[in-house]
C-alpha cells in the first residue's frame, strides 16, 4: 500500500491567523497531507505574525507595494521555500497564480458564490449575510483562479443564521467550521492529484 504524498505548503496571511494556526497544528499532527514550511505576511504588525511565532513558525515578512512587484516578491519567497501548495488563510490581497495555478486554495467565510468578491472579507461578509435575510451561511474552500473568491469549490460547511445574530456572533459560528473545512479540502485536493495513492 502506498503512503499518501505529503505536499510542501506555504500559508499566506493578512489577519488574525486562526486558520494558519489550525493548519500548522493539523500539519504537525499528520491530519493533512501537507507540511507547512512557511507563513508569509505583508505586514509585521498583524496578529497572525505573533501568533505563528508563538508556535515556533517565524513568518516571512514581505512589505509589498501594489502590483507585479509584490507578486514577484511572493513568487521568489514561495520558490525559496520549495512550496508546492499555497494556502490563502485570510489573505486579503490579490494573489497572482503563476506556477501555483491549480495548487492554490483559499478559504472564504460565506457560501460562495454568494457574498464574495473584492472587498468582501471579515465582518463585512457577515454583515452582508445578515442584511440579506439569508437563513444559513458557512464557509467555502475553493481552488483560486484569477478572480476574487472564484474558482472550483472543494468544500462548503454550513451554519444556521439566527435572528439574534450580529456579524460577530455569526463570524464565531462560521469560524468553528473553518478548520475542519480547510483540512478536508486539502485532503480532497491531494487525493485528486494522485487518486491511486
Q: What is the CATH number of the domain that holds 164?
A: 3.40.50.170
Q: What is the pTM of this model?
A: 0.92
Kindly state the average pLDDT of the residues 67-93.
86
Cα separation values, 153 from 69, 71, 141, 143, Å: 29, 24, 6, 6
Q: Which domain holds residue 118?
A: 7-193
Q: How many CB atoms lie within 10 A of CB 46?
A: 19
**What is the pLDDT at residue 67?**
56
Identify which of 87, 191, 174 has the alpha carbon closest to the alpha carbon of residue 128: 174
157 within 8 A of 181, measured Cβ to Cβ: yes
Q: What angle do CA 110, 23, 27 make, to 5 degrees?
A: 145
**What is the pLDDT at residue 155?**
98
Q: Is residue 1 part of a domain?
A: no
Kindly state the average pLDDT of the residues 102-112.
96
Kindly state the average pLDDT of the residues 145-163.
94
Pairing label, strands 153-160, 136-143: antiparallel
- Look at the chain and report how many structural domains it folds into: 1
Q: Is residue 78 part of a domain?
A: yes
pLDDT of 29 over the 70 cut: yes
Q: Is residue 86 part of a domain?
A: yes
Determine the Cα–Cα distance for residues 81 and 135; give it in Å rounded to an integer: 43
Q: Is residue 168 part of a domain?
A: yes
Q: Is residue 2 part of a domain?
A: no
Residues 6+ apart with CB under 8 A from 56: none
Catalytic residues: 108
Amino acid at each position: 500500500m502506498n503512503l499518501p504524498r505529503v505536499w510542501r505548503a506555504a500559508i499566506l496571511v493578512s489577519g488574525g491567523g486562526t486558520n494558519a494556526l489550525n493548519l500548522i497544528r493539523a500539519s504537525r499532527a499528520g491530519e493533512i497531507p501537507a507540511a507547512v514550511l512557511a507563513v508569509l505576511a505583508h505586514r509585521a504588525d498583524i496578529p497572525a505574525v505573533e501568533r505563528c511565532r508563538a508556535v515556533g513558525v517565524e513568518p516571512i515578512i514581505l512589505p509589498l507595494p501594489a502590483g507585479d512587484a509584490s507578486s514577484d516578491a511572493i513568487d521568489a519567497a514561495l520558490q525559496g521555500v520549495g512550496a508546492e501548495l499555497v494556502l490563502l488563510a485570510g489573505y486579503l490581497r490579490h494573489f497572482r497564480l503563476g506556477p501555483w495555478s491549480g495548487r492554490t486554495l483559499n478559504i472564504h467565510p460565506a457560501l460562495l458564490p454568494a457574498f464574495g468578491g473584492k472587498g468582501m472579507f471579515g465582518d463585512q461578509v457577515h454583515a452582508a449575510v445578515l442584511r440579506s435575510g439569508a437563513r444559513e451561511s458557512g464557509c467555502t474552500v475553493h481552488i483560486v483562479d484569477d478572480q476574487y473568491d472564484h474558482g472550483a469549490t472543494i468544500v462548503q460547511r454550513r451554519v444556521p443564521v439566527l435572528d439574534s445574530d450580529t456579524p460577530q456572533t455569526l463570524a464565531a459560528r462560521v469560524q468553528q467550521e473553518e478548520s475542519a473545512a480547510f483540512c478536508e479540502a486539502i485532503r480532497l485536493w491531494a487525493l485528486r492529484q494522485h487518486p491511486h495513492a
